[in-house]
Amino acid sequence: MEELDAILERVDTLIELEAHAELRELLNDLNISDVAEIINESPKRTLLYFQQLDFQRSLAVFRILDNNIQISLLDQLSPIQVVNILNEMPPDDRTELLSDLPSNIVKEFIKKLNPEERKITLSLLGYPEESVGRLMTPDYIDVEPDWTVEQVLAFIRDYGKSSETIDVIYVTDTNGKLIDDVRIRDFLLVDPKTTKVQDLIDGRYISLHVNDEQRDIIDVFQMNNRVALPVVDDKNVLLGIVTIDDVLWVAEEEYTEDIQKIGGMEALREPYLDVPFRTLIKKRVGWLIVLFLGEMLTASAMAFFETEITKAVVLALFIPLIISSGGNTGSQASSLIIQAMALGEVSLTDWWRVMRREILSGLVLGSVLGLIGFVRVVFWNSVFHSYGAHTLLIASTVGFSLLGVVLWGTLIGSMFPLFLERLGQDPAVSSAPFVATMIDVTGLLIYFGFAMIFLSGVLL
Amino acid sequence: MEELDAILERVDTLIELEAHAELRELLNDLNISDVAEIINESPKRTLLYFQQLDFQRSLAVFRILDNNIQISLLDQLSPIQVVNILNEMPPDDRTELLSDLPSNIVKEFIKKLNPEERKITLSLLGYPEESVGRLMTPDYIDVEPDWTVEQVLAFIRDYGKSSETIDVIYVTDTNGKLIDDVRIRDFLLVDPKTTKVQDLIDGRYISLHVNDEQRDIIDVFQMNNRVALPVVDDKNVLLGIVTIDDVLWVAEEEYTEDIQKIGGMEALREPYLDVPFRTLIKKRVGWLIVLFLGEMLTASAMAFFETEITKAVVLALFIPLIISSGGNTGSQASSLIIQAMALGEVSLTDWWRVMRREILSGLVLGSVLGLIGFVRVVFWNSVFHSYGAHTLLIASTVGFSLLGVVLWGTLIGSMFPLFLERLGQDPAVSSAPFVATMIDVTGLLIYFGFAMIFLSGVLL
């Protein structure tokens, strides 16, 4: 990053001096990721920088530019330049770009593609938004089982340039059905003249289905140590491949959505600073209103206990402490379980093991906080004489309420994500704020319940 | 997953029938990921299943077993088997396994390695826990610039088997300094006899430094479309490579830690159901106690306003509603900003843009909730006559307090992660519960402040 600043300064100087040839040389000499950073950092000079690049380099840079910069570039470039770029982009990246644009602009762009590319893009666009079909590229190399390795290597020399990866080669039958995948290393480690493809295959391949959910394949890639996996339809016909670098992006997107949902909002799907203000508010206000309406029940619950509060105002003093302690333990338990579910560490069938663990955790954590609360009340009274003659009873009310509310918070926080999963809902929706709100209302009932037990006939 | 159940049933039947030969055949015929699942699912039969596998397959399966199953297997296998497995594991996986074991057990294991492997493992273990050095493997192929491509291909045939990837080949000078990396495809697309390595290199490579933080390289892999990246030291000497499949695991671990921290606990670093109960409690109770001590300030704040509550018990009714609304908006804003920072969408220098956005968001969100709160009080009174003659003043107190507390929550929630970053701390620590606790105390001050303004001389 230090370096990048130095480069940016140099670029600025060259522009001031109008030294275009040198600027051109500099930009064509840097790593493509540095060039992309430079362009991302200077929205106003996007076009100027971009047009200095050799065509092949400009393609490589375009692929990794921020989405909004890509769109603005497509707007500024001449139609012929746009066509060239779209035609040369790997189909999976192009599909992702197109699906981020308004649909009438997409139609215009697709018209500009050559017939071959248009067919590919359209067929890719036919799959559901979060499906593997949207992620795959049809640029792979497939060979037949009766070819010799020498034939395979010659084929790669002829067609390898348009393939996204040649690290894995696919073996299909004459109907296009997938027979196996073979890593390129296996071809290089044998005698090319005497070995046939069928000698190298063992029929043990992992494939993805075109309708699989993108988030589910992260796991498949982690477990199988492959840089690319083949995508097939119901009839096992090979449609395309998914490469592992795209899976890294999927993982990032999925985790971001989870964190945003756990935080109590709809998934943004765009960088924070790029998302329009109206969208930002829309994605946030919905959940806040739902939570607020739920939280209103606390006002009703409090009204129900108004007489008790009037008789013993001291009870009101500990309300924020008690309901927040329930909320905190609930948030903690729910984030923990949501993430364990996302990683597949915990599934529905484990509910009893989770519940047993969390009841025990709740009892331990609740006892710790309850004890601290009890001591706080007794200690404060011995120093400030705050709570009068019934200090021990008040301390017991606070202590036992904390134990109860923490146990309850842990239980609700851990069970609610599993309950949502059981209903076929997304567990991440049981956000920290949502669980906290549920616990606030019941926390009041627990608190005033213990107050009745300990203080009835004394203060109440 | 349906299939796996069917396989598990078949395995069970074969064991009941004591049909070991058939069991052996079945296990050697399945995908290694299925075999790993079967072993993970049946802790009691781990050894039985594992010993049915051919040696090469057993290595592949061992690599992807759950960590605790790996440890239990190492315990159950004979020393000679352990030595064979450890010696044949890719060094990066072995290092990870060893760093999860207690240090005296590690010493015992390392003694069992052959001298060559022991040197590698020890040198890998010398790097800090979260550094790239821990992730790298020294099993790569490096060639010199004056070799012909034919020599390179012959070299791959001889040494490719012990290399983790041959998808990328590294070019080094006689001092072991990195000159470039070349994708295997580039070697296959040229005439092997007449082309030399130096004809294929352009000196534009991306390398990682051995002391880089693992979490920072996720980004580098995303941007550069490589399946492996070279790792160098200060003198640019090539020490090893990091493969992209390991980066997927790093990403998962980092995101999990973030979610757990946002939920208000220390990172677990082990699957939820595997972590010992004592550890689970230890990782959770620390933060809960800190939050609880912070939350105690609410009791002090409430005591400060005890006279006001005694005069107007109606004020107490809305306390949970108001402080929770601040907490909810604060949790939302902090998760949003923490994640945007983790993705590099927002950095310290953007603080002013973030603040401006969040002040505006807070005003809009606060106005919405404030209005609903105002209407709730007026409406309730018109139906239940709950709040008597001063309903409009009470409604205004509630409404403006909500506006104030939501604005404040949004501001604290969004600025606190940036503040932590500024101090060199991990922003994810500004968890939802932490922000909520900070806002609870100040929320009370805001509420009673507005109560003074609207109700002073009337109810107070």
**Separation CA B39–CA B33 (nearest Å):** 10
Is any Cβ of chain A less than 8 angstroms from the Cβ of B48?
A: no
Does A328 lie in the same domain as A297? Answer: yes
Domain boundary among B105, B130, B155: B130
Does B146 lie in the same domain as B125? Answer: no
What is the CATH classification number for the domain harbouring A358? 1.10.357.20
**A2-10 LR contacts (CB < 8 Å, sep 24+):** A4/A34, A4/A37, A4/A38, A7/A34, A7/A38, A8/A38, A8/A41
Q: Which residues 346-375 in chain A show a CB within 8 A of chain B?
A: 346, 350, 353-354, 357, 360-361, 364-365, 368-369, 372-373
Does A295 lie in the same domain as A427? Answer: yes
What's the distance, Cα to Cα, between the start and end of chain A in Å? 66
**Separation CA B413–CA B420 (nearest Å):** 12
**B207, exposed or middle or buried, with CB in 10 Å at 0-12, 13-18, 19+?**
middle
Phi/psi region, residue A270 (left: phi>0; alpha: psi -120 to 50; beta: rest), is beta
Domain membership of residue B213 (yes or no) is yes
The C-alpha of B58 sits at a distance from chain A's nearest C-alpha, in angstroms, of 14
Q: What are residue A222's phi and psi, to 5 degrees?
A: -60, -40
The C-alpha of B101 sits at a distance from chain A's nearest C-alpha, in angstroms, of 20
Is the pLDDT at B152 greater than 70, yes or no? yes
Does B168 lie in the same domain as B191? Answer: yes
Q: Residue B183: which pLDDT band, with cuts at 50, 70 and 90? A: confident
Does B234 lie in the same domain as B147? Answer: yes
Domain membership of residue B328 (yes or no) is yes
Residues B377-433: pLDDT tens digits? 999 888 877 777 788 999 999 999 999 999 999 999 999 999 988 988 888 876 778
Residue of chain A whose alpha carbon sits nearest to that of B247: A248
Q: Which residues 260-319 in chain A show a CB within 8 A of chain B?
A: 260, 262-265, 268, 271-274, 277, 280-281, 284-285, 287-289, 291-293, 295-296, 298-299, 302-303, 306, 309-310, 313-314, 316-319
A298 closest CB neighbour out of B252, B292, B321: B321
Angle at CA of residue B151, ends B148 and B154, nearest 5°: 150
Structure tokens at A43: 């929205």
Domain membership of residue A320 (yes or no) is yes
DSSP H or E run through A231:
strand A228-232
**Separation CA A60–CA A31 (nearest Å):** 10
Q: Span B16-39, mean pLDDT?
A: 85
Q: Of A449, A411, A446, nearest to A430 (Cα)? A: A411
**Separation CA B324–CA A324 (nearest Å):** 8
Domain boundary among B215, B234, B260: B260
Does A415 lie in the same domain as A333? Answer: yes
8 Å CB contact of B263 and A324: no
The answer to whether A328 touches B288, Cβ cutoff 8 Å, is yes
What is the CATH classification number for the domain harbouring A227? 3.10.580.10
The C-alpha of A272 sits at a distance from chain B's nearest C-alpha, in angstroms, of 6
**A115, exposed or middle or buried, with CB in 10 Å at 0-12, 13-18, 19+?**
exposed
Does B319 lie in the same domain as B224? Answer: no
Q: Of A324, A271, A407, nearest to B434 (Cα)? A: A324
- The pLDDT value recorded for residue A320 is 92
The CA R_g of chain A, rounded to the nearest whole Å, is: 31
Q: Of A389, A90, A320, A345, nearest to B440 (Cα)? A: A320
**A3, exposed or middle or buried, with CB in 10 Å at 0-12, 13-18, 19+?**
exposed
Q: Domain tally for chain A?
A: 3
**Separation CA B63–CA B41 (nearest Å):** 16
A273 closest CB neighbour out of B184, B248, B353: B353
Is any Cβ of chain A less than 8 angstroms from the Cβ of B56?
A: no
Domain membership of residue B158 (yes or no) is yes
pLDDT values of chain A reduced to their tens digit, one per residue, 460 residues: 457 788 888 888 888 888 888 888 888 888 888 888 888 888 788 888 888 888 778 888 887 888 778 878 877 777 667 777 777 777 777 777 777 766 556 666 666 666 666 666 666 667 777 888 878 887 788 899 999 999 998 888 887 766 667 778 999 998 889 999 988 888 888 888 899 999 999 888 899 998 899 888 988 888 877 788 999 988 898 888 898 888 888 888 888 888 888 888 888 878 888 888 898 889 888 888 888 888 888 888 888 898 888 888 888 999 999 999 998 899 889 988 988 888 888 889 999 999 999 999 999 999 999 999 999 999 988 887 777 778 899 999 999 999 999 999 999 999 999 998 898 888 887 677 888 888 888 999 999 999 999 988 877 7
- The pLDDT value recorded for residue A164 is 65
Residues ≥6 apart with Cβ < 8 Å to B183: B167, B168, B169
DSSP string across A135-196: T-BS---EE-TTSBHHHHHHHHHHHGGG-S--SEEEEE-TT-BEEEEEEHHHHHTS-TTT-B
Does A405 lie in the same domain as A389? Answer: yes
Domain boundary among A226, A243, A260: A243
**Separation CA A306–CA B273 (nearest Å):** 44
- The pLDDT value recorded for residue A1 is 46
What's the distance, Cα to Cα, between the start and end of chain B in Å? 66
**B106, exposed or middle or buried, with CB in 10 Å at 0-12, 13-18, 19+?**
middle
Which residues of chain B have a CB within 8 Å of the CB of A264? Answer: 328, 331-332, 335
Task: Please give the single-letter amino acid code of residue A297.
Answer: L
**Separation CA B368–CA B378 (nearest Å):** 16
Domain of residue A391 covers: 277-455
Is any Cβ of chain B less than 8 angstroms from the Cβ of A343?
A: yes
Which residues of chain A have a CB within 8 Å of the CB of B32? Answer: 224
| A-interface mutation test, from B339, B343, B361, most A Cβ less than 10 A away | B339
Domain membership of residue A260 (yes or no) is no
Domain membership of residue B269 (yes or no) is no
- The pLDDT value recorded for residue A341 is 87
Strand partners, B143: B171
Q: Which residues 411-430 in chain B show a CB within 8 A of chain A?
A: none
Residues B102-146: pLDDT tens digits? 655 666 666 666 666 666 666 666 777 788 887 888 778 889 999
The C-alpha of A259 sits at a distance from chain B's nearest C-alpha, in angstroms, of 7
What is the CATH classification number for the domain harbouring A115? 1.25.60.10
The CA R_g of chain B, rounded to the nearest whole Å, is: 31
In sign, the C-alpha dihedral spanning A27, A32, A37, A40 is: positive
Does A108 lie in the same domain as A149? Answer: no
Residues B325-365: pLDDT tens digits? 998 899 889 988 988 888 888 889 999 999 999 999 999 99
Cα dihedral angle (A234, A239, A244, A247), rounded to 10 degrees?
-60
Domain membership of residue A151 (yes or no) is yes
3-class secondary structure per residue, chain B: CHHHHHHHHHHHHHHHCCCHHHHHHHHHHCCHHHHHHHHHHCHHHHHHHHCCCCHHHHHHHHHHCCHHHHHHHHHHCCHHHHHHHHHHCCHHHHHHHHHCCCHHHHHHHHHHCCHHHHHHHHHHHCCCCCEHHHCCECCCCEECCCCEHHHHHHHHHHHHHHCCCCCEEEEECCCCEEEEEEEHHHHHCCCCCCCEHHHHCCCCCCCEECCCEHHHHHHHHHHHCCCEEEEECCCCEEEEEEEHHHHHHHHHHHHHHHHHHHCCCCCCCCCCCCCCHHHHHHHHHHHHHHHHHHHHHHHHHHHHCHHHHHHCCHHHHCHHHHHHHHHHHHHHHHHHHHHHHHCCCCCHHHHHHHHHHHHHHHHHHHHHHHHHHHHHHHHHHHHHCCCHHHHHHHHHHHHHHHHHHHHHHHHHHHHHHHHHHHCCCCHHHCCHHHHHHHHHHHHHHHHHHHHHHHHCCCCC
- The pLDDT value recorded for residue B143 is 92
Domain membership of residue A340 (yes or no) is yes
- The pLDDT value recorded for residue B115 is 64
Does A108 lie in the same domain as A8? Answer: yes
Is any Cβ of chain A less than 8 angstroms from the Cβ of B259?
A: yes
Structure tokens at A145: 């089982």
8 Å CB contact of B157 and A33: no
- The pLDDT value recorded for residue B1 is 46
**Separation CA A412–CA B173 (nearest Å):** 62
- The pLDDT value recorded for residue A370 is 95
Does A153 lie in the same domain as A129? Answer: no
Structure tokens at B418: 């940036």
Does B330 lie in the same domain as B445? Answer: yes
* Beta carbons within 10 angstroms of residue B158's beta carbon: 11
pTM: 0.73
B160 closest CB neighbour out of A189, A299, A368: A189
- The pLDDT value recorded for residue A258 is 85
DSSP string across A396-435: HHHHHHHHHHHHHHHHHHHHHHHHHHHTT--GGGS-HHHH
Q: Which residues 188-247 in chain B show a CB within 8 A of chain A?
A: 188-189, 204, 206, 218, 220-227, 244-245, 247
ipTM metric: 0.72
DSSP E strands: which ranges in A299-413?
A: none
DSSP 8-state symbol, A113: S
